Amino acid sequence: MSKKEIVVSGIRPTGKLHLGNYFGAVVNFLKLQETHDCYFFIADYHSLTTHPDSVNLKQSIRHIMAEYLALGLDPTKCALYIQSDLPETAELYLLLNMFAYKGELERVSTFKEKVKTQPNNINAGLLTYPALMAADILIHQADLVPVGKDQEQHLEMTRDFAQRFNHTYQNEVLPLPQAFSFGDELVKVPGLTAQGKMSKSNSEKDAIYFTDEPKILRKKIMSAVTDSGPTEPNSKPSEGVQNIFELMRLVSNADVIEKFKKAHADCTIRYGDLKGQLADDVEQFVAPFREKIDYYYNNPEILNKVALSGQTKAKASARKTLDLVRGAAGLGL
């Protein structure tokens, strides 16, 4: 039997999971765990680039682990681990840093954005973020990396670093991984405030979280950015309205969406009804997960057990890669 392809992906514990994380990444994790050799982790080292409060960080790590389990990741089918439980990643990061050039790191869009948003904390970890991400992926010699559209550039850099490593040591140790989504393209889920992709770093009202209480959820969605309504038949919806249609595509029935699209085209649409429908459908989608998330979050023994078994699986795979990489580079006696 041929070897299963290897899949790796992670999420930063910077808060709770939102629908962007789910439809951009986690839906793919759920399918891939059935057929592939999967490693999914919580990227706590990466979070340190923004100096989070340590108590909040620990809570976020536990919360994301609870969400992974509640959303259906199964620790008997995939390795679920915490990035910092696998310090082998940090060693590979050090080696990959030798192949990451300052100029290219400075041109990365996520870095440029952080330079704008946190000008007083442009640390070396932030600059070399893509090298750490490459280490996460290459430590398991991944073939596929299920991520949202915003991570595409990091995947290109991962391939560049791997290629340079292989070339320098004349050794094809590191396979070149591809960003992956089951759809035709990588996904970008929009937020509610028409500021591009759904993100925890946009305003409070932008992201829809699995743990949002029904009232909060409805309030957020009802205040989503729209416009004053179409005045010309068949006009193109504004960005905010388009975003609502895109969110509906993820959680609503096709005939309901069609009905509202028609109403937009003939200028009879009422945005209150459109948002009300989205709020109902999102609520229906997230409600079954709320209790499960709570259950796992409040059962530390389950979380600890899962993290330990994930660490054991991940370590075995990481050790193999490090031996190859160290050998190729000529390290040690």
> Do 141 and 175 form a contact (C-beta atoms < 8 A)?
yes
Residue listed under structure tokens 């550039």: 153
Nearest approach in angstroms of CB 249 to ligand TYM is: 13
Of 191-210, which residues contact ligand TYM (CB under 6 A)?
197-198
Return d(Cα 19, Cα 45) in angstroms, integer.
23
Structural contact between residues 164 and 319, judged by C-beta atoms closer than 8 angstroms: no
| 9 touches ligand TYM (CB under 6 A) | yes
188 contacts ligand TYM (rule: CB under 6 A): yes
User: Residue 187, interface with ligand TYM (CB under 6 A)?
Assistant: yes
Candidate list 6, 7, 11, 208; residue touching ligand TYM; CB under 6 A: 11
Edge-first strand listing for the sheet containing 6-11: 78-82, 37-42, 6-11, 144-146, 178-180
CA-CA-CA-CA dihedral for 99, 102, 106, 108, to nearest 10: -10
Strands 144-146 and 37-42: unpaired
Of the candidates 16, 14, 64, the one whose C-alpha atom is nearest the C-alpha of residue 209 is: 16
Among the candidate windows 18-26, 49-57, 112-120, 277-285, which touches ligand TYM by CB under 6 A? 18-26
Of residues 200, 205, 261, 315, which has the active-site annotation?
Answer: 200
Q: Is residue 136 involved in binding ligand TYM (CB under 6 A)?
A: yes
Q: Which stretch binds ligand TYM (CB under 6 A): 87-95, 141-149, 231-239, 288-296?
A: 141-149
Q: Is 200 a catalytic residue?
A: yes
Binding segment toward ligand TYM, per CB under 6 A, in 91-99, 164-172, 185-193, 306-314: 185-193
Residue 177 binds ligand TYM, judged by CB under 6 A: no
| H-only helix segments in the chain | 19-21, 27-35, 44-47, 54-71, 88-97, 102-106, 109-117, 124-127, 129-138, 152-168, 214-222, 239-251, 254-265, 271-297, 300-329
- In the numeric block, the tokens 């290219």 are attached to 104
Number of residues interacting with ligand TYM: please give it, by CB under 6 A. Answer: 24
25 near ligand TYM, rule: CB under 6 A? yes
20 binds ligand TYM (CB under 6 A): yes
Please state, in angstroms and rounded to a whole number, the distance separating the CA atoms of residues 45 and 126.
11
Q: With contacts defined by CB under 6 A, name the span among 148-156, 233-241, 267-275, 303-311 that binds ligand TYM.
A: 148-156
Amino acid of residue 16: K
Q: At what angle do helices 129-138 and 88-97 cross, to 10 degrees?
A: 120
Q: Is 105 in the site for ligand TYM (CB under 6 A)?
A: no
User: Minimum distance from CB of 259 to ligand TYM (Å)?
Assistant: 26
According to CB under 6 A, which residues from 232 to 291 bind ligand TYM? none
**Which stretch, 53-61, 131-139, 213-221, 293-301, contacts ligand TYM (CB under 6 A)?**
131-139
Is residue 63 a contact point for ligand TYM (CB under 6 A)? no
Least distance to ligand TYM from the beta carbon of 173, Å?
18
For residue 108, the minimal CB distance to ligand TYM (Å) is: 11
Long-range contacts of 323-329 (CB under 8 A, 24+ apart): 324/173, 325/92, 325/95, 325/165, 325/173, 325/174, 328/165, 328/169, 328/171, 328/173, 329/95, 329/169
114 tagged catalytic: yes
151 binds ligand TYM (CB under 6 A): yes
- What is the set of active-site residues? 114, 197, 200
Tell me which residues touch ligand TYM (CB under 6 A): 8-12, 20-21, 24-25, 43, 46, 133, 136-137, 145, 147-148, 150-151, 187-189, 197-198
